[in-house]
Structure 1
Amino acid sequence: MAEVLSQSQIDELLNNLNSGEIDIQEIESHSKEKKVKEYDFRSPKKITKETVNLLNGIYESYCRSISSSLTSMLRFMCDVTVEQIEESIFHEYNNALDDYVLMGLINVKYPDETVSDNQILIEVSKSLSFVIIDRLLGGSGEESNFTRDYTDIELSLLGNLLKQIISPMGNSWESTIGMKTELSKIETNSRFIQSINYNDTVLIIVLNATLSQATGKITICIPTNILDEIFKKADAFSKSNIKKKNSDQNYENQKEAIMKTLKVSKLTVSGVLGKTEASLGDILNMKVDDVIILDKNYNSDIDVNVDGEKWFEGKWGTKKSKGVIKISKIIH
């Protein structure tokens, strides 16, 4: 995070400019010189440019989603855009926050139903939050300069709004991994946050929100630990899907080969006109022109058996001087 000057430092700077101790022209000449950014080799950067570009795309999609959500909830035009993404140390980010903050702690749930031990933080600037409160309570959404803490009613209203804008965050990661994000709790004092160690490296995503004529910041703080966790889960999930896909393909190939072999096998198909029972004596005494009474009417369907099992029903007839059966019903 960029260094934030305290009020006393700002006053001292203005006094020095007015008294002439600091030359404005000298400051301008220094500003035109080529700036060299110092690199601390003791704490090297952990986030690559590729990761930053990936997150930029993810959170641009997230901004479009919450812009429409805020517009529908507040009933006036809202626009949210990604302003910057930078790597920092958590204590530097935490020290730059105001005394009274609206901080949401976000739980991350993965496709395997496990919940991460780490949490993502989202902070809505005080100016923006009071505009939202004013609008939710029927006001016009004008900016205010309140420096007080939030009341219980205000926190309840803002809590419901945070739930609405946090839920789409997980959907924005869908191209990487299908995770879910949900609000765990709200903190109004950033010093009480213990889910992130003070010396942990974090990624700060600053969103610029314009609500009608008012503007403010929404800051998302993602620990690098949870980023590593997400990418590992995504890689494992991708490999699992490929393995499952290959397994399913092998299964289909085996099934097709088995069915191809079975289809050319020979089966005995027989039509059963009807059945009856007779004693051994009746059978031994049968003569030509004797009549056997069956258990079916002459116009009833006959059974068609495949290897002794009833598969079909049909009508008996003849075609080209040969007996035929026309299938009328399939028995499953």
Structure 2
Amino acid sequence: MTAILGAGAKPMADVLDQTEVDALLAAVESGAVDSAAEDVVGRETRASREIQSYDFKRPERVSKEQMRAIEGIHESFARNLGAALSGFLRTIVEVRVATIEQLTYTEFIYSLPNPTNFNLLTAKPLEGQICLEISPLIIYPIIDRLLGGASTELFIPQRPLTMIEQRLVGRITGRALAALTESWSDLVEVEFSITEVESNPHLVQIVAPNEIVVVIGFEIKMGGRAGTMSLCIP
């Protein structure tokens, strides 16, 4: 303590003398101090209940209630899309919501394969753009199915889609937009349309790199094949 106080420091002025100590003990014995102590404990308990952790480096723009609403809308979308693809491809296609989280746009982009099927959407009358990405792991089996193949031992090439393949995939994304429109209609009437299709997601920037976006991840299963689909909403 002497090192902390420094040379020439004086003793603390608030040290109780014997008379004050006796008065304090008498107050404790009479119960006069208990209520004040309980008030302090009560305030501390309430304060401890109200404290919540918050990461200032990763602020969340969307509340938990809004995230639950978004999840409900896209669970409906997954069911509608699964039914639409099952009828179109004449085989059972399962689509389910796998994840829903808030990420920076950069984190979302770096989580995607490259090349991939990366679609930029508009949702009029809403402003901005939405990203719909479908993994090659399920895109190529779907293309193979459309061309009459069994896709049981299909090789997944690491290349962008050809023009013919893009037109075939357009029949899938068209059904995805129809299912998306139907699911969103409970919240707001929107018209989804594709404005651009890219194979390299790193070439597309719809918002600032550090801006928070909501990313809904889906799992698509068809036969013995499975892949992912991601919807990014700024």
Taking structure 2 as the reference length, what is the TM-score of the superposition?
A: 0.73
Q: Please state if 1:50 is matched with 2:72.
A: no
2:177 equivalent to 1:192: no
CA contact (8 A) 1:133 1:154 kept: yes
Deviation at 1:210, TM superposition (A): 0.8
Provide, for residues 267-315 of structure 1, a one-character-per-residue CA deviation record: whole Å limited to 9, x for no partner: xxxxxxxxxxxxxxxxxxxxxxxxxxxxxxxxxxxxxxxxxxxxxxxxx
Q: Flag the structure with larger Rg.
A: 1
The answer on whether the counterparts of 1:210 and 1:216 sit within 8 Å (CA) in structure 2 is: yes
Q: Does 1:158 align with 2:173?
A: no
What is the CA deviation profile of residues 15-74 of structure 1, one whole-angstrom value per residue up to 9, with x for unaligned ones?
A: xxxxxxxxxxxxxxxxxxxxxxx9531331111110111011100110111011111121
Q: Which residue is 2:106 aligned to?
A: 91
Q: Which has the higher contact order (CA 8 A, sep 6+)?
A: 2
1:166-205 matches, cutoff 5 A = 166-205=177-216
Q: Could you say which residue in structure 2 is the equivalent of 1:136?
A: 146
**Separation (CA, whole Å) in 1 of partners of 2:177 and 2:209:** 24
- Does 2:234 match 1:219? no
- Decide which moves more: 165-174 or 122-131: 165-174
Q: Contact conserved, 1:159 with 1:186, CA < 8 A, in 2?
A: no
Q: What is the DSSP-based 3-state SS (H/G/I as helix, E as strand, rest coil) of the residue aligned with 1:108?
A: strand
2:84 paired with 1:69: yes
SS at structure 1 position matched to 2:102: strand
| One-letter code aligned to 1:123 | E
Q: Secondary structure at the match of 2:112?
A: coil
Give the Cα–Cα distance (whole angstroms) in 2 for the partners of residues 189 and 215 of structure 1. Answer: 21
Matches within 5 A, 1:1-332: 40-110=55-125, 116-142=126-152, 143-223=154-234
Cross-structure match for 1:257: none
Query: 1:326 — aligned with what?
Result: none
- The Cα RMSD (Å) is 1.6
Gaps of 5+ in 2: 1-52
Query: Could you tell me how far apart the structure 1 residues matched to 2:96 and 2:68 are?
Result: 15
The one-letter amino acid of 2:99's match is Q
Q: Distance in 1 between matches of 2:190 and 2:162?
A: 33
Deviations 1:228-260 (A, max 9, x none): xxxxxxxxxxxxxxxxxxxxxxxxxxxxxxxxx
Give 1:179's aligned amino acid. Answer: V
Distance 2:187 2:114 in 1: 36
Amino acid at match of 1:65: N
C-alpha distance in 2 between matches for 1:184 and 1:72: 26
**In 1, distance between residues paired with 2:91 and 2:57?**
48
SS class of match (1:209): strand
Structure 1 segments unaligned to the other structure (5+ residues): 1-37, 111-115, 224-332
2-side partners of 1:47 and 1:117: how far apart? 17
Stretch of structure 1 that moved more, 213-222 or 194-203: 194-203
Q: CA deviation at 1:183?
A: 1.7
Q: Which amino acid aligns with 2:204?
A: I
Contact 1:167/1:180 (CA < 8 Å) preserved in 2?
no
SS at match of 1:144: coil
Residue 33 (structure 1) aligns with? none
CA contact under 8 A between 1:204 and 1:222: conserved in structure 2?
yes
CA distance in 1, matches of 2:69, 2:196: 28
Q: How many residues align?
A: 181
